[in-house]
Structure 1
Amino acid sequence: MVLYFLKDETRVEASGMEEPIGVHHALAERASKYNKRPHVFRLQTADWRVFLFQALSAEEMSSWISRINLVAAMFSSPPFPAAVGSQRKFIRPILPTAQCRNSLEEQHQAHEVWMDKFSDELGEHQRNLPDKRGRGRDLEEYRLKKEYLLYEKRRYETYVKLLEARLCGGSEELEQWEARLGGPDSADEGLGLTKSHSSPSLNLDPPPAGVKVKRNISERRTVRKIIPKRNKQLL
């Protein structure tokens, strides 16, 4: 489950490819804090790298968000158990890259379990506030863990909502599934799409849509073609 970047969509050559981005356990959202350019969404990967992408329209941006999150929700394997040690330092667990073999129903149930787990952990974490007069390291550890729990809770909530919509739609086409999610205004939750000609497709026949990729806000804007790795189960 990766995104490839090609300088020329007519020639697929290894020398012209940039490093692909894994989308397992990833979360795509509208980049609400980035106001320099319109129709920008952020993609946060399993190792917490963040990439910014600029789409051609709000509809295309919403389509990329919905489809990236759907693939991540359908095929991300369950997290590994947390490491056990004597140190109190908070360390984010490593997330597996292997593709999950669960059915949609099983995957939906598994995500619900993890969503409830992170919700409970977040509530417990917020009830045990550190002493403000304590060491700076303890306060920083508390902040890092809270940030992690908030993100994981939001990620699994997005996965659950998308899989619920997918299960309700049965064998309907992705375009119909996207249309039922809503408009671009709901893209902050990883949902929503109004279909347009510029929306990306997971089919093999049409060429992929072009988007402007910004790996760093300070970098000069460049244009890339994003080609999602195809998955036969989505065709």
Structure 2
Amino acid sequence: MAQQQDTRSEPVDEFVDDTVDCEEREEAYRARGTARPITVVGNPVLHRECRDVTEFDGELARLVDDMFASQRAAEGVGLAANQIGVDRKVFVYDCPDDDGVRHVGVVVNPVLDELPAERRVLDDSNEGCLSVPGAYASLARPDFAVVRGQDAEGKPITVRGTGYFARCLQHETDHLYGRLYIDRLSKRERKDALGQMAEGTPRYDTVPND
């Protein structure tokens, strides 16, 4: 996700604490990784559901490192694997919530909890996406989100977010099921977002669509 202008494991009751040692953990991932160019809307890998991760090995660890490096190079707050052309259900994030608390982590095979009606308070803030560079649009999403999945070692985790971070969790999970945020817009709003993209030049490396 651009900065603002059922899971295969058993559910766990405790939420992961992704606010500890954020700078050190993000820097370690990024130092081991290599930044890759970002795939943009129109690339087929972005428009279909990604494959589940079944092997929690060195290849996955290297992918996570590269995703953190790519996220930082593009100045994003979240990145899904298919945004660097990899057909796997993985996303990483380095995102603040509305209280300014930083969250850093990895979610593999994520599934969003369906919120009960009393928790569905909508926030219609602007949303952007590294795969739709330069475009922003108002999009209503719940201001609270719970994602269940696994960490990079295959252990079950549950991540909770509020505000901007909740939007990030929903946005990145959407990516892995083949949906971009502009797919949730009206036809007119989608056309406007694509127009914004066409008028600008990405500030990071992208993969051109043939």
Higher strand share: 2
Q: Normalising by structure 1, what TM-score?
A: 0.22
Q: Normalising by structure 2, what TM-score?
A: 0.24
Higher helix share: 1
